[in-house]
Structure 1
Amino acid sequence: MDRHQQMYSTVVHHNGQDYRNFLRQRVGSALKSRRREFIDRLRRIHSSTTSSRNPLDSTTDGCHQLMEERRHLLYSLLDDSEKEHLDLETLLHLQDQVLLEFENDISCITGSSSGMEIDEITCPLCSIGKLVLYGTVLCCSCGLRLDTQTDSISLASIGRSIREAETMHVHSGCSQPLRGSLMEQKTSVFGESLNSDSVSLLCLECPRCSFLEIVI
């Protein structure tokens, strides 16, 4: 038995379940949950800053807090008793194994669907150009260049997100067309300006009502 598998089986006590499937489930569910929490909290930050005297400072502080929480995602998957037995190197090794399996799964899915025809998606920023995805970077001839920072994004999923946002907005009762916008904030890590993270999101918002939906 692999020493990491043996170690994880002993420490976590998952009743004989394969440790890779066990960890994959924990990481997957945690990432989905954190993604929803991240978007919900970002929406609340956006709403609360519309009436603030200095919305930039409030948004920056909020995004900084969110980025710090994201940094502790791996440790949050384990309880205190598990952390005592697992050092950071082992945690990162286990995470890398799971992420590698995710990448392989994604490659298989994208490879099997590569022959499928994908409808062109109009850029929500300029409403003229067509969106193009180069690896993880979403581009348009209007100048849009957004690094999605994930290989799991596809033009098809972006198109679905745009259509879902438009449908939700129509159901809200507002007839004003949505417009695209980029929401981007840079935050320093531990107060050091040399090390910073950037949160860049493609959004659809309504200039008339308070509707805001994050596409990516």
Structure 2
Amino acid sequence: MATPRGKSPTFSRMEKHRNLYKNTSPQSCMWRDTYRRRCFERLKNSRENLLQKFRGNDASADGASPGRGSVICELMEEEWKLMQWEERQARVEMKLTHGQMDDGLLEDLNNDVVLSIMEELQRELIAEEGAIIAEYEASLHLAEASLSATVEQLNTDELLCPICKRNPLMLNKGVIFCACGMRINTEQDCITLANVRQQLESGVEQHSALCHGQPVFTVTDALSAQNLVLSCQTCDFLYIVI
């Protein structure tokens, strides 16, 4: 049903929102900008905590929604209380130093303006929270796809080179090599391709049990000996394959 003068409820809310901002004092703008900046910084610094809660809720038996927005509510409340405490401390210090105490910025704010600012900021933070979780989910799916591809390669009759992932590994007189240029002398260790396959499977399984990051295979050269190594920058996992 239309409101008087033919304005819709949505239009009326938008008009009220604009009027609130139009009447906002410079002090309110300063508070809004400071509060917004600090909330976004706290969200950025709490990224790991956010993902931990998301992973925990996502793994719950009831299959409920991850409760997005819960971290935002906690974050905004904590930052609001911190700003109030800091202002009280500043006023006390002013009283001790100058013998007078101002009313304070936060006490001077219009309640409707504060509520409107907080509602808008909450929407922005929830959108940012969703973007962080979406980025994590995308990286998780990529890691799972990479793991599946690696396991599938290991289960084929031919043992594909973990470096190039295209050509099969070959063994000749104790030297394991690939057409891509990877070459490791294992003559003294009497290693077979079956041993390499087992080591590759073990390394991949151990890492996937600890981390969802995407590990990489590299050949290192230390103390005149070459090694095929599985490593992950996300969790600092390191595993010597051969």
**TM-score scaled by structure 1?**
0.38
The structure with the larger Rg is: 2
Higher RCO by CA contacts (8 Å cutoff, separation 6 or greater): 1
Question: Which structure shows the bigger proportion of residues in helix conformation?
Answer: 2
